[in-house]
């Protein structure tokens, strides 16, 4: 085993002597360029140190069941890196930098680990560590930070949630966000894909996979809507309303009129000031196409009377 303290000093001295020898060799051939050549060599060494490890693009997430069994580290994740056969009292925690780079001193130059699993990182570090013979590297994620989703709507704990896998079932995230009793549906918005609408009562759909970057909106049951009808009508009372309902449709849904004579319909509607505004329509003219069939609104009151 080589000394942990002595080896880096020897390596540093070796690099310095090599660079110095190169500078002197060039300077002997061209004395006027010695200063600029030394600066060029330093810049070259620095550039080589940063780009020594080729960048590995973050892996694209394939939304499959296998995605729930793997985690690929990303910026902000804190890794716990330990040498099982060379224990140390120094900190073993290292944060992945914003560009996916890991600076681990024993590995030499910074390496790109974004998009890699902890097993892949351990294998890479094992290859890069030269200061120890046969180093056994173990890598775990201490703090998860890079895989975030957002949950809003009918939940007690909305906001950003962190995934610990490449994908997790929707019901797992909803349990963490504490879904309210009135929640009925969820919509998953994902970049580059159409929204995914899910009925929370359907256990199969609630198992849909959520991936980093998703926005989950939980909505409640829509309040029931009604209109009210009375007068010369076969089935008066409160009736279900739906968007786009017309006056003649509302009358048919109420059983039709009691008589076939000339009838008028008063439609009363509550305004923003709380007062009712009433408009009168000739039913025969609507039925014969002489006047438009008006669109009703939720809460309208209809009274059918004879002219």
pLDDT score, position 62? 53
Does the pLDDT value for residue 2 go beyond 80? no
Q: How many CB atoms lie within 10 A of CB 259?
A: 10
Per-residue pLDDT tens over the stretch 65-78: 788 999 999 999 99
Residue 71: name the closest of 160, 161, 141, 172 by CA: 141
- pLDDT at residue number 103: 94
Q: Is the pTM above the cut of 0.95?
A: no
The rounded percent of the chain whose pLDDT value lies above 90 is 61
Q: Which is higher by pLDDT, 137 or 223?
A: 137
pLDDT of residue 260: 82
Highest mean pLDDT among 46-50, 103-107, 249-253: 249-253
Long-range interactions of 13-19: CB distance < 8 A, separation 24+ = 15/45, 19/45
Q: What is the pLDDT of residues 156-213, one digit of tens each?
A: 999 999 999 999 999 999 999 999 988 999 999 999 999 999 999 888 888 999 999 9
Better-predicted residue by pLDDT, 132 or 245: 245
Lookup: tokens for 190: 């994902």
pLDDT, tens digit (0-9, with 9 covering 90-100), for 236-292: 999 999 889 999 999 999 999 998 888 999 999 988 888 899 999 999 999 999 999
**How far is 209 from 248, CA to CA, in rounded Å?**
46
**Alpha-carbon gap, residue 287 to 248, rounded angstroms:** 8
Helix axes 6-29, 34-50, angle to 10 degrees: 140
Q: What number is the average pLDDT over the span 221-235?
A: 89
């Amino acid at each position: 085993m080589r000394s942990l303290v002595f080896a880096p000093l020897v390596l540093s001295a070796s690099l310095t002597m090599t660079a110095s020898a190169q500078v002197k060799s060039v300077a002997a051939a061209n004395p006027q360029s010695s200063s600029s050549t030394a600066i060029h060599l330093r810049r070259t060494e620095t550039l080589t140190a940063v780009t020594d490890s080729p960048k590995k693009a973050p892996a694209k997430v394939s939304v499959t069941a296998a995605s729930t069994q793997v985690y690929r580290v990303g910026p902000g994740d804190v890794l716990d890196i330990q040498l099982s056969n060379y224990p140390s009292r120094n900190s073993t925690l290292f944060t992945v930098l914003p560009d996916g780079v890991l600076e681990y001193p024993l590995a030499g130059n910074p390496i790109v680990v974004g998009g890699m699993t902890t097993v892949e990182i351990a294998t890479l570090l094992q290859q890069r560590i030269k200061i120890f013979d046969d180093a056994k590297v173990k890598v775990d994620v201490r703090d998860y930070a890079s895989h975030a989703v957002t949950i809003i709507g009918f939940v007690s704990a909305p906001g950003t949630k962190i995934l610990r896998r490449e994908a997790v079932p929707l019901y797992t995230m909803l349990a963490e966000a504490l879904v309210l009793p009135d929640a009925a549906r969820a919509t998953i918005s994902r970049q580059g894909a159409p929204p995914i609408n899910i009925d929370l009562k359907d256990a199969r759909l609630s198992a849909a996979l959520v991936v980093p970057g998703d926005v989950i909106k939980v909505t409640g049951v829509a309040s029931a809507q009604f209109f009210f009808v009375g007068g010369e009508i076969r089935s008066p009372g409160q009736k279900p309303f739906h968007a786009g309902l017309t006056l003649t449709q509302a009358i048919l849904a109420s059983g039709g009129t009691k008589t076939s004579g000339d009838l008028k319909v008063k439609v009363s509607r509550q305004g923003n000031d709380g007062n009712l505004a009433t408009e009168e329509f000739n039913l025969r003219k609507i039925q014969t196409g002489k006047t438009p069939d008006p669109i009703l609104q939720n809460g309208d009151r209809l009274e059918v009377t004879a002219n």
